[in-house]
Every structure is written in C-alpha cells, then in structure tokens.
Structure 1
Amino acid sequence: MTITPALDPARPVLDQLRERVTALEGGPARLPVPVLPALSGLVTLRTGSSYGVDSASLALALAAGASRSGEWVGFAGWADFGAEAAAGLGVDLARTVLVPDTGEHWLEVTAALVDVLRVVVLRPPTRVDARAAGVLDARLRKRSSVLVVWGDWPRCEARLSLEDVRWTGPDHGHGRLRSRQVRVAVRRGTAPPVRAELAFPGDEAPLNLLSADQPPGRTLRWASG
C-alpha cells in the first residue's frame, strides 16, 4: 500500500495538488535549487516556480545560492544592476547573464533566458497580466528553471518583502555605512507570514540569519554564513 504524504499547511493546497497531478502524469520533477545558508530555513526554491521580492537585496540573495553552487543565473530589466553588491552576496559574475534593458520585448527576452539558465531574476518594465505570467510559468516547468520577480506577479510560490531596515556604520556622523539589519516577511498563499531578522553583509561578511519566527507545525533550520 502506498502512503500519500500529508499536505504542507504552510503552502497553498492547490499548488501541492497540482504538483501531485504533474508527478502522476510523468511531468518534470520540481527539483530543489540551492539557497544561501541564511535563507535555508525561510524559503525553498524549486524549479518550475516563481518567487516575488520587493527589493534589490532580496532579488540578489535568492539568486546567489544557485550561483555559488555553480549554476548560471540571469538578470533582466535591471538597468542599475549592482555588480559589486551581487558579488558581495556570492553571485559569480563569470556565470551571470545581464540584459539591462528588455524594452517592449521583455516577455520574449525572459523566456529565452529561462530556456538556458537555472535562475532568472526579472524586473518587469510594466504591469504583468495573468496571460503573460502563464506563458513564463509553462516555460519554467518545461525547462526546470526558477523565476524571481522584483515587483508584482500574478502567481508566486512565495513572496519576500522587507518590513524594516536598519543601517550600522557611522559614528557621530562620521564613517561609512557597513551593514544592514533587516526584517523580512515570507508569505506563502494564505498561510501566516514567517518573519526573520537578517544581517546583510559588510566588509565581505556573509549574509546571516539573526532570528526567525517559528510558524505553527513547522521547524525552522537555523543557519548562518
């Protein structure tokens, strides 16, 4: 007798049912994609899915884990892409594709990147409707890729947002900004958000998880570095 695993209460039920149907039909598996250790207890990236963020820092952080593990990543529609900030979080610029300006053909450009890269970060130049999102969703499943969207997106596996930012560095008005402590909220469907305190790197220090809420019925794996 085959025992069907229980549904995860922290994730949308409909998404989990779709995954089971895809598996039964022999569709592509939703494979895990590495994330930075500090994020490992907060969000799990899986191929065939899209994830939303509201800041450049979170966009880079979600791409950095795959890049550090040897995967190629891409950034589309990011005219002011910060190469130094990306490298500081662990993005290997030698395995990075950058399309600063996608213009009106952003959908085609992003689809082409999804075809060849494991993780693609998109900054849409316009409001995205369900039809355009559906085109990329299908491409993600077919190519076993991950899409991170900086901005609004009709359907996301999870959304990460900054709720509080605190800088450290200047002393009595002198010196330079060295690092940031931020409070991040991770939302999955209708489940209550999970919040965590993170320290973004300064002076080549790694991204660190300082503290995290523990949602009901779920154990977080704490990590740093």
Structure 2
Amino acid sequence: MPRSATASLAALNGVSRLSELTRTPADQTVGRVLPVLDGLADLLPWGGLRRGSTVVVRGSTTLLLALLAAATVNGSWAAVVGVPDLGLLAAAELGVVVHRLALVPQPGEQLLAVTGALLDGFDLVAVRQAGELREADARRLSARARNRGAVLVPFGQWPGADLELDCTGRWSGLGEGHGYLRQREVVVRSRGRGAAARGNQVRLVLPGQDGIALPVPTQAELRRVLP
C-alpha cells in the first residue's frame, strides 16, 4: 500500500477510535433526524435524514450535495468518498458548510475501510463505489451506519437501502450557441421500505436562487402571483 494511503487510513482509524468515546449507540442518539432543505423534506418520510438510515441518490451529484447542506449548516459533519470530480465551490454554492465537509476522492482498494472509519466519526457519509462492491460488504456498511447513528448516502446502486432517490431533469441557461448552464429543473422520486413504501415525488430547481433547492411552482401558485 502506498505510504500516503497508509497515513490516510491511520488518520481515519484515529477518528474511529476517538468517536468510540464521543458517540452513543444509535438508539441513544439525540436528534434522530438531520435537517434537509425545505424543498427536499417532502421526499423523506421522516421529514429529514433519519440517523442510522441508508439513503441512495441516483442521477445527480447536485442533489447529493443538496442533501448535505442543511445538516452541515446546523453543525453536522459530512464526508464524500469516491467522487473525484466533486468540487468544494459547487458544494459551497449549494449551501454546504465546506469546513465541515471531508473529501476522499480516490480511496482505491481501501473504500470499504475508509467508509467504515468515517461512519464512526461523521454524521453523514456519501460514497460512490468504484467497480463492484460485494453485497455483503454494502450491507455491512449499512449496518455500521445504523449502529453508529450515522446516515449513509450511497451514490448509485446499493442493496437493502431504506430509501432511494432518483433524479431526472434538464439544464437551462444556454442560448443559441452561447451562455452558461445556470440551473436544472428536476423531478426527484423517492421510494423505499416501511414508512417510505408509498413514495413521493417533487419538482425542484437545482440550484435555485442563492444556490438552494427551490420547489417548482404549480400552475395554481403561478396564477395567484402573476397578473
């Protein structure tokens, strides 16, 4: 193993050991639900991100970052593993408090160990697997999140998740061969198990004004505010 990878893993193991002194088991954790932006709350049966849960995001790194924003504003710590193209500027524009965000862009063969160590010390851990992660290992990480009272947010496929969020949409901002991509109108659908079995969907603008996620107004709402 390269020396840098060994040092990084040792540092994360230090986080894990420290967290054993500072974290309580999931069933004793105060603040069972971490907040999310208002536009996302209707997607989650708990009104936020329930500690101990696994919430899959598919189709949008912007949605992934938006899920982390409100929690970091309220003092939670988040980490993103295995997403090398994710930028701190994009995170900040969506409202993420970047000094409470850790990035591990390329964990390589240590993805399982790194993600497990982060779940011991962070409130939210997002992870994109490189290649195929064994189903048993994925379920082991979900169990670790449940035991430690953290929220695991896989980006892509993940077996046995409590909730799945699928995002589709289109970008706007380009003119006839010129301009910049400014925002994306999306439809986000949720489905899951237990309280999330009924599912839901919302239409959002990502990012909206000031970078936050804004719900797309309905025709009835537009008629009330437009002349």
| From 178, 182, 206, the counterpart of 1:200 | 206
Deviation at 1:202, TM superposition (A): 5.3
Counterpart of 1:171 in structure 2 is 175
Pick the structure with more helix per residue: 2
| From 56, 64, 80, the counterpart of 1:59 | 64
Identical amino acids, percent of aligned pairs: 38
Counterpart of 2:27 in structure 1 is 28
Instruction: Give structure 2 stretches of 5+ with no counterpart.
Output: 1-24, 219-227
Are the structure 2 counterparts of residues 211 and 145 from structure 1 closer, same or farther at C-alpha, using a change threshold of 3 Å? farther
**Equivalences for residues 76-115 of structure 1 within 5 A:** 76-115=81-120
Q: What is the one-letter code of the residue matched to 1:187?
A: R
Counterpart of 1:217 in structure 2 is none
CA contact (8 A) 1:50 1:149 kept: yes
Give distance in 1, aligned partners of 2:115 and 2:105: 12
RMSD of the TM alignment (CA)?
A: 2.1
Bigger CA drift: 39-48 or 134-143? 134-143
**Equivalences for residues 12-161 of structure 1 within 5 A:** 28-29=27-28, 31-43=32-44, 44-54=48-58, 55-161=60-166
Instruction: Give structure 1 stretches of 5+ with no counterpart.
Output: 1-25, 213-225
Give distance in 1, aligned partners of 2:142 and 2:28: 14
CA contact (8 A) 2:204 2:216 kept: yes
Q: Secondary structure at the match of 2:174?
A: coil
Q: What is the one-letter code of the residue matched to 1:182?
A: V
CA contact (8 A) 1:48 1:143 kept: yes
Deviation at 1:137, TM superposition (A): 2.1
Q: Secondary structure at the match of 1:147?
A: strand
TM-score by length of 2: 0.75
Give distance in 1, aligned partners of 2:135 and 2:149: 20
TM-score by length of 1: 0.76
Q: Number of paired residues?
A: 186
CA contact (8 A) 1:196 1:211 kept: no
Deviation at 1:178, TM superposition (A): 1.4
Deviation at 1:96, TM superposition (A): 1.1
Residues 138-178 of structure 1 deviation map (CA, whole Å, 9 limit, x = unaligned): 21122210010001111111111113x22221233332221
Q: What is the one-letter code of the residue matched to 1:91?
A: V
Deviation at 1:191, TM superposition (A): 3.3
Are the structure 2 counterparts of residues 211 and 131 from structure 1 closer, same or farther at C-alpha, using a change threshold of 3 Å? farther
CA contact (8 A) 2:26 2:52 kept: no
